[in-house]
Structure 1
């Protein structure tokens, strides 16, 4: 006889299965206390031998502790941990979408802008985790989810290392061999650079269609990770900029000290590599793709103290969004989107509800920007005496009739509006399209065509006065 279906676990109502594995089942569930749908990850302790049980439960609690201390748009939120009737569970954010692994199963390279966009979100998540003392240790496509809006979220912190935790796994091999760093395979201590190695393996797979280290057995894969240098990405996929090869080889270095020291440094190197290609191949649209990190930024991993950025007090008084002028929020959203992409709309809405003070709002948003350079640029945009206008309010029709030439301010304004929909690459797209447009209206038309989502395209056209 088949076991009776599970209808509830603790306070949670079970609505269906999302997946199952050797450790347990992940359910679609509902929290009746606050009326929220969640994903409920469970393990049944009696399925494991006594010797395994303690280690397994420690890993499971570690996942709840690691992810529970991280509140970031690109990390799956953990809401609750509990044990009941022989079952331990974690209640977490329900991500409606698909796993990155599903996109990579076909063995074909992903579109370069999409791959870099998702990788940028992965770096944002890892940078935030590392700043809070958490190393994931199992970055792989199966642990990277894409929601219905194309936003990437990191999940499964089951073997994460927490700096303040007494739990240690030094001397044991934990992770997935194809994506593990050499020091993990050797059973040595790990740090954020280990996560960056695994993230680089994921990027390599996205760009080429296959993993850099493959073999007939796990032992063979491990030997490759420890000894072999993979083929250059541009040799596997000729459409890739050759300048990316050096970045990838450094990110996949066997020597941890030779790798990029932090997410910001890797992000900066990617920007420089693609920017170099973009400026030398301006006629090739497929190669003109950039990540929004200033090329002159130094390899620094230190973030400014957000509290020092606010000249006013942070008033968590639930200020209604209506208290904010629409133009002011649009300005903040556009400038934040230039750093973090479309998720800026959600972040601004949440933070603006907590304060009516612009410096305080800026301080609340700064920690969500992954790069040191980006944080400085965002802060300086709102500094007293240097605040630049968010947009030139001259409509496309006005400029078209007057025959004015495009100015740098107009191109910048258009890029800020586009960034709400495309994210950091908007400035590069606008700069690329400006010389090809005879008027501001023409530029807006070209930028609208660059937005893949039809609904967003309509909103952009309305924002810039095309309809």
Structure 2
């Protein structure tokens, strides 16, 4: 029987008729199983037609939008096909699939992220292995970055206090686990509307306390505008390096605030304390910085 034989089409029609009958008359459980099988069969057929990156990862996540196209990695907004939940998926670019340093850093990032659970830290949920061997990090999806909000409107004093409370609380948990984030900036602070629930993301260059980036064959890692003097110099880092970045962040936030009050003066004093050039002149840790922030008058976060 050849592929073009009429009997082939009759057999296809017969099977389709049986499938359609089962979908319409079967129990809800049977329909669910059949729909999943049809969907998977269509996915496999569609994948054979594509020569670009596959739009479906691990047969579970649909890559819906490219969020960040970096020099070595890409970040996508993804939807879980069965649960309907949204996630962020970070993976090496195809041309970096064989980069051993990047692979090591991403697996290490996953290990660090999955060991941290805190209301002000973006959750790392799992690690996938793509068909070509690349690792893919799955994290919770949070739609907006603080950097985008700062371009849209000024902040109130209450909002600034909420941001810094969130940041220092998250840093306290990171430091308690023995790590230094090393990349604190508005690009890595995520929030969906409520700044009191802001979360720290991206542990790609985090270090164990007392380590330096040269141990991972990185001449420099981080964003120069927020890096501490010791980070720029390639020295071993501790939690006070993150506090320096927090001070620069607070300074940036205050530049977006038009209010002048005793609270503003208190926050400016905290900025100076956090961003001292000499590491010995900064607060001892995030908890100490939170205590200093607690002396600032708080206002309700604007709606």
TM bracket, shorter-chain basis:
0.7 to 0.9
Question: Which of 180, 191, 197 in structure 1 is aligned with 2:227?
Answer: 180
Task: Report the CA distance between 1:257 and its aligned residue.
Answer: 1.2
Give distance in 2, aligned partners of 1:25 and 1:173.
Answer: 20
Name the structure 1 match of 2:130.
84
Name the structure 1 match of 2:281.
258
Task: Report the CA distance between 1:173 and its aligned residue.
Answer: 1.8
Change (3 A) 1:117 1:451: closer
Secondary structure of residue in 1 paired with 2:219: coil
Name the structure 2 match of 1:447.
none
Name the structure 2 match of 1:155.
201
Question: Which of 1, 4, 7 in structure 1 is aligned with 2:55?
Answer: 7
Give distance in 1, aligned partners of 2:212 and 2:241.
Answer: 20
For residues 182-221 of structure 1, what are the structure 2 equivalents within 5 Å? 182-209=229-256
Change (3 A) 1:15 1:175: closer
Q: How many residues align?
A: 249
Does the CA contact (< 8 Å) of 2:157 and 2:264 recur in 1?
A: no
Name the structure 2 match of 1:111.
156
Question: Which of 58, 72, 96 in structure 2 is aligned with 1:23?
Answer: 72
- Per the normalisation by structure 1, the TM-score is 0.48
Does the CA contact (< 8 Å) of 2:169 and 2:290 recur in 1?
A: no
Change (3 A) 1:451 1:260: closer
Does the CA contact (< 8 Å) of 1:6 and 1:14 recur in 2?
A: no
Q: Which has the higher contact order (CA 8 A, sep 6+)?
A: 2
Secondary structure of residue in 2 paired with 1:139: coil
Does the CA contact (< 8 Å) of 1:66 and 1:162 recur in 2?
A: no
Task: Report the CA distance between 1:20 and its aligned residue.
Answer: 2.8
Give distance in 1, aligned partners of 2:267 and 2:126.
Answer: 41
Task: Give unpaired runs (5+ residues) of structure 1.
Answer: 210-232, 275-288, 291-424, 426-449, 454-467
For residues 379-394 of structure 1, what are the structure 2 equivalents within 5 Å? none
Task: Report the CA distance between 1:268 and its aligned residue.
Answer: 1.7
Deviation by residue 1:162-193 (Cα, 9 ceiling, x = unmatched): 35999834983211000000100000011111
- Kindly report the root-mean-square deviation, in angstroms, between the aligned alpha carbons of the 2 structures: 3.0
Give distance in 2, aligned partners of 1:148 and 1:154.
Answer: 15
**Alignment pair present for 1:127 and 2:147:** no
Task: Report the CA distance between 1:238 and its aligned residue.
Answer: 4.9
Give distance in 1, aligned partners of 2:226 and 2:301.
Answer: 33
- Per the normalisation by structure 2, the TM-score is 0.72
Task: Give unpaired runs (5+ residues) of structure 2.
Answer: 1-49
Give distance in 2, aligned partners of 1:163 and 1:19.
Answer: 31
Name the structure 2 match of 1:71.
117
Change (3 A) 1:112 1:204: same
Secondary structure of residue in 1 paired with 2:250: helix
Task: Report the CA distance between 1:88 and its aligned residue.
Answer: 2.0
Give distance in 2, aligned partners of 1:191 and 1:170.
Answer: 19
Change (3 A) 1:189 1:451: closer
Give distance in 1, aligned partners of 2:253 and 2:51.
Answer: 40
Does the CA contact (< 8 Å) of 2:78 and 2:89 recur in 1?
A: yes
Change (3 A) 1:237 1:146: same
Does the CA contact (< 8 Å) of 2:64 and 2:79 recur in 1?
A: no
Task: Report the CA distance between 1:56 and its aligned residue.
Answer: 1.2
Change (3 A) 1:49 1:27: closer
Point out the structure with max Rg over C-alpha.
2
